[in-house]
Amino acid sequence: MNQLDKKSQAWSALFSEPMSDLVKRYTASVFFDKRLWEADITGSLAHAEMLAAQSIISEADHASIRHGMATIRSEIESGAFEWKLDLEDVHLNIEARLTQLVGDAGKRLHTGRSRNDQVATDVRLWLRGEMDAIQGLLAELQRSLLSVAEKHADVILPGFTHLQVAQPVSFGHHMLAYVEMFARDAQRMKDVRKRVNYLPLGSAALAGTTYPLDRERVAKTLGMVDERGQACVCQNSLDAVSDRDFAIEFTAAASLIMVHISRLSEELIVWMSQNFAFIKIADRFTTGSSIMPQKKNPDVPELARGKTGRVVGHLMGLITLMKGQPLAYNKDNQEDKEPLFDTVDTLKDTLRIFAEMMGGQLQADGSRAGGITVNAEAMERAALRGYATATDLADYLVKKGLPFRDAHEVVAHAVKFASERGMDLTDLPLDTFQSFHKSVDKDVYEVLSLRGSLNARNTLGGTASAQVRQQISRHQLRLSST
Ligand code: ARG
């Protein structure tokens, strides 16, 4: 039996009584931080390789550590590894097992290292991997939305401001708005990754170490390098072991993604209600009611909207966790893990489910099936109901020489007149229009049509079909190179 195992604590000699069971449970993190096991082994192997290269440990010890870690890896993967609460966390569990397997070589692994720089390194390594997976999922969601945009580029729906019908827009344009949001989210994640990918190891407990470590070598082994291949090493030991700003930044970026998902969810929920009936989502994303047989509830978008609160809550948790901490490491930081893990899990599941719900499941031939169903007639009808082309009539009058403010007034009278009679602007006869202003001619009807209005907005970023198609190609090109 090794020292750690026998005494069950890494620091036993100094203590006159054992920890109570309650305190053990309160302070232990192994039941959640065991999730970091792979990063922990990877970090330890890089550290051991460097210790040997610097002749701080022998090649024989290095070989033993490697073999021992290989055994531990397979034990954990097969579920045979016995995680012990008494050994507090993932780091002490793995180290104790290593020493049990390879003896003194295992005890030498911790030379020039502390759990403080070890855990900071593990969390960064783990998070980096998850962020790469999130990048892939963000790209997939964008591709999915692009496929919806492409399929429905010519479908017209009312664009809203204040949830009041404003001007007609293309449904493709509407989807592309979300593609823009998720593209920025991906950029933001990419930027955060640069700061996550820094090496704390070698800072030891807080002040650095007396051993001649080669930290840059460890950074390179772990892929902690910048675009030019330069090692990214934390430059201040106190900062390296204690700040979790990288985790906060990540959670902030994750919160923004969830906020974007939540906005989309809110729209899906509104669009699915019978009063709108703009879209349907596939049955597998909805649930029925146990009492009202006619119901199909948008549970997935509703839950995503709800889970946004949860992720934003984690951001608040992490940022508050940091605020009162003096330098350097404090045990408070152990509380960074659960919110971070839950943020990653929630975000990944949400991105995956939205990619499939919107564009459908990716088929072998690259097409998609089973995404949202769009009711183009309902959308057009809604746009026609709301005088969505009133601005176009005003612009028409401006082109005939009226100052915009006067044109606005004339149109307001025309809209009032039509709405009192339950008519659309296009239903008004020409002489009625001319009673509002003499310059109105029969070309006004083209201007008042939804499609005419849409295609008139042919400036960069506008909703005209030509613009929407250009944007779709631009995004497709961008996403094909990621
Ligand atoms: N489980 C600890 C954490 O997650 C590891 C570091 C412990 N360091 C210490 N000085 N007690 O933060």
pLDDT of residue 482: 65
Q: Please report the pLDDT score of residue 13 as a whole number.
A: 79
Burial-class residue 180 by CB neighbours within 10 Å (0-12, 13-18, 19+). Answer: middle
* 174 part of the active site: no
Asked if residue 94 has pLDDT above 60, the reply is yes
Query: Is residue 292 predicted with pLDDT exceeding 90?
Result: no
Q: Which of 331, 335, 336, 340 for a ligand 1 pocket mutation test, highest count of atoms within 8 Å of Cβ?
A: 331
Tell me which long-range contacts 356-360 makes (C-beta under 8 A, separation of at least 24): 356/144, 357/281, 357/282, 357/285, 357/300, 358/141, 358/144, 358/145, 358/148, 359/143, 359/144, 359/145, 359/146, 359/147, 359/148, 360/144, 360/147, 360/282
Q: What is the pLDDT of residue 294?
A: 79
Active site residue 203: no
Query: How many whole angstroms from 115 Cα to the centroid of ligand 1?
Result: 6
Strands 279-280 and 360-362, how do they pair? unpaired
For residues 10 and 92, give the distance between their C-alpha atoms in angstroms, rounded to a whole number.
Answer: 8
Give me the catalytic one of 16, 55, 162, 290: 162
Same fold yes or no, 3-111 and 117-188+241-374: no
* Band of residue 382 on the pLDDT scale cut at 50, 70, 90: very high
The CA 59 to ligand 1 mean position distance, Å, reads 29
| Distance from C-alpha of 14 to C-alpha of 3, rounded to nearest angstrom | 14
CA 243 to chain centre: 22
204: left (phi over 0), alpha (psi -120 to 50) or beta: left
CATH class assigned to 117-188+241-374: mainly alpha
Decide if pLDDT at 6 tops 80: no
pLDDT band at 358 (very low <50, low <70, confident <90, very high): very high
**Closest residue by Cα to residue 240 from 194, 281, 285, 203:** 203
Q: Is 70 exceeded by the pLDDT of residue 10? A: no
Sign of CA dihedral 112, 116, 119, 123: negative
Using CA atoms, how far apart are residues 482 and 476, in angstroms rounded to an integer? 10
CATH class held by domain 3-111: mainly alpha
Q: Could you identify the atom of ligand 1 that is nearest to the CA of residue 119?
A: 5
Are 329 and 205 in contact by the 8 Å Cβ rule? The answer is yes
Every domain of the chain and the residues it spans = 3-111, 117-188+241-374, 382-480
pLDDT given at position 481: 78
User: Reduced to 3 DSSP states, what percent helix, strand and coil does the chain have, rounded to the nearest 5?
Assistant: 65, 5, 30
Q: Is the pLDDT of residue 11 over 70?
A: no
pLDDT by residue (tens digit) across 119-178?
A: 999 999 999 999 999 999 999 999 999 999 999 999 999 999 999 999 999 999 999 999
The helix/strand/coil state of 222 is: coil
Q: Taking all residues of the chain, what is their mean pLDDT, rounded to a whole number?
A: 95
Q: pLDDT tens digits, residue range 313-342?
A: 999 999 999 999 999 999 999 999 999 999
Architecture of domain 382-480: Orthogonal Bundle (1.10)
pLDDT single digits (tens) 234-253: 999 999 999 999 999 999 99
Q: Is 119 in the pocket of ligand 1 (CB under 6 A)?
A: yes
> Among candidates 312, 316, 314, 304, which has minimal Cα distance to 261?
304
| Whether the Cβ atoms of residue 27 and residue 88 lie closer than 8 Å to each other | yes
